[in-house]
Amino acid sequence: MPEIPQKKTLKEQYNRVIELSAHYDNVFWIVDYDVIARETLATKKGAETAAQIFKKYCKALEQLPNVTVIVNNPCLEFWLLLHFESTGKYFNECEGATKQLKKHLPDYEKTLRYYTKQGNDIYLKLRGRLQNAILNAQKLGCFDCDNPKKGMSEMHLLFNCAELKQIST
């Protein structure tokens, strides 16, 4: 059951993941790291940063076998870009990844309408390129909290879920 939280804090998202893990076989927490990076830069000296908090949350979630944390760095648009390009370019903001994506999807908009348009949604537009995106993402490896300045996406972890594979075959 997809759930897209709107404007929730990192702590609220983490708590929701914990809550959902008690009720579902698989929980995927999909995180756009550009928000964490931006919040980290805005942290007052001496205070715990969003990056430090996120690292602690990831460590704690390792204890829950039905939870998978998926990081897009900087954002989901990087995952979409991997459908077209094999790149590990680091974009410090989502706008850079979006600009590059628009070279392949000129009409791209970060809107619910664009993602869900009947008969022409994002899934239908990219379905034929999914395996390419999965391979490109796998080449980039996993997110490293200690080295976050690397363009990457772990969305392939979602598509490698056994239950999802059963549905798509």
Task: With H, G, I as helix, E, B as strand and everything else as coil, classify residue 44.
Answer: coil
4 in any annotated domain: no
Q: Is residue 168 scored above 60 in pLDDT?
A: no
Report the pLDDT value the prediction gives residue 52, as an integer from 0 to 100: 98
Tell me whether residue 1 is in a domain: no
pLDDT at 167 over 60: no
pTM: 0.91
Count the domains in the chain: 1
Residue 114 CA to residue 126 CA, distance in Å, equals: 13
Q: Which residue has the tokens 């609220």?
A: 12
pLDDT tier, 4 (very low <50, low <70, confident <90, very high otherwise): low
Q: Is residue 85 part of a domain?
A: yes
Report pLDDT digits (tens) over 48-93: 999 999 999 999 999 999 999 999 999 999 999 999 999 999 999 9
Radius of gyration (Cα) for the chain, nearest Å? 16
Q: Is 68 a domain residue?
A: yes
Paired with 27 in beta bridges are 67
Its domain, for residue 35, covers 10-168
Q: How confident is the model at residue 120 (pLDDT cuts 50, 70, 90)?
A: confident
Residue 11 makes CB contacts below 8 A (sequence gap 6+) with 53
Residue 87: inside a domain? yes
Q: What is the pLDDT of the chain when averaged over all its residues? A: 92
Q: Is residue 93 part of a domain?
A: yes
The answer as to whether 127 is a domain residue is yes
Output the pLDDT for position 169: 45
**Residue 3: inside a domain:** no
Contact 145, 60 (CB under 8 A): no
Q: How far apart are CA 47 and CA 126, in angstroms?
A: 42
